[in-house]
Amino acid sequence: ETGVTQTPRHLVMGMTNKKSLKCEQHLGHNAMYWYKQSAKKPLELMFVYNFKEQTENNSVPSRFSPECPNSSHLFLHLHTLQPEDSALYLCASSQALSVEQYFGPGTRLTVT
Amino acid sequence: AQKITQTQPGMFVQEKEAVTLDCTYDTSDQSYGLFWYKQPSSGEMIFLIYQGSYDEQNATEGRYSLNFQKARKSANLVISASQLGDSAMYFCAMREMDSSYKLIFGSGTRLLVRP
């Protein structure tokens, strides 16, 4: 595997379900990010981790819970989601916070 | 006020021709970076090119060049010799180094290359 991978690629879940999105980067980067891309809205930053430490939480509701066990892996735990949370969730990584980010293919989430 | 403005929701270009995608930004920081990303229908965001606010020369990467006009706060992407595979969404983004490392994206421009 190379670059940034995300699983699953597609996820359909009910409002009472609990699921997790997984991101793995094979680039040796130190920073990882979660973004949300909704239809007709700009990409929104959700969380930033640098050397496994969360450095930014962009006012994200608590039904989204990130976890970064090491610099290569990033999870987004989901519970009690709302239909408006349906979106493409993109993971990214970068060598440092100030340089270009490399994105994974995203997880298309549908909340029913 | 919007930090990143992309005024062209959609653009057409003939194959092998050049096309310019517009991007204007708003910041009071002295140090910032400007990025362009391409998003094909598959969803992955692909990094194309970067311009730092202190860079005196316009950035170039292969067929991509960034027309950076600091006084006008514009960072237009120029794609030369368009190819069918260039059809995608293109996003301009900015990071303000002085205040935050958050990457702020514009709303994107959908480019369609005609054969």
Q: Which of A38, A43, A45, A53 to mutate: most B Cβ within 10 Å?
A: A43
Q: Is B7 exposed, middle or buried (0-12, 13-18, 19+ CB in 10 A)?
A: exposed
Determine the residue of chain B that is closest to A47 in CA distance.
B102
pLDDT digits 0-9 by tens, B37-88: 999 998 889 999 999 999 989 999 999 999 999 999 999 999 999 999 999 9
Instruction: For residue B48, give both structure tokens.
Output: 């194309």
Name the residue among B43, B93, B108 with its Cβ closest to that of A105: B43
Note which residues in 58-77 of chain B have CB less than 8 A from chain A: none
Count CB pairs under 8 A between chains A and B. 52
Print pLDDT tens along chain A (112 aa).
Answer: 579 999 999 999 998 889 999 999 999 999 999 999 998 788 899 999 989 888 888 889 999 999 999 999 999 999 999 999 999 999 999 998 878 899 999 999 999 9
From the list A42, A56, A100, the residue facing B107 with the nearest CB is A42
| Residue from B7, B34, B4, B33 nearest B20 by CA | B7
Flag if B106 and A42 touch (Cβ within 8 Å).
yes
Long-range contacts of A40-47 (CB under 8 A, 24+ apart): A40/B107, A41/B107, A42/B4, A42/B91, A42/B104, A42/B105, A42/B106, A42/B107, A42/B108, A43/A90, A43/B45, A43/B91, A43/B93, A43/B105, A45/B102, A45/B103, A45/B104, A46/A76, A47/A76
Higher pLDDT, B92 or A40: B92
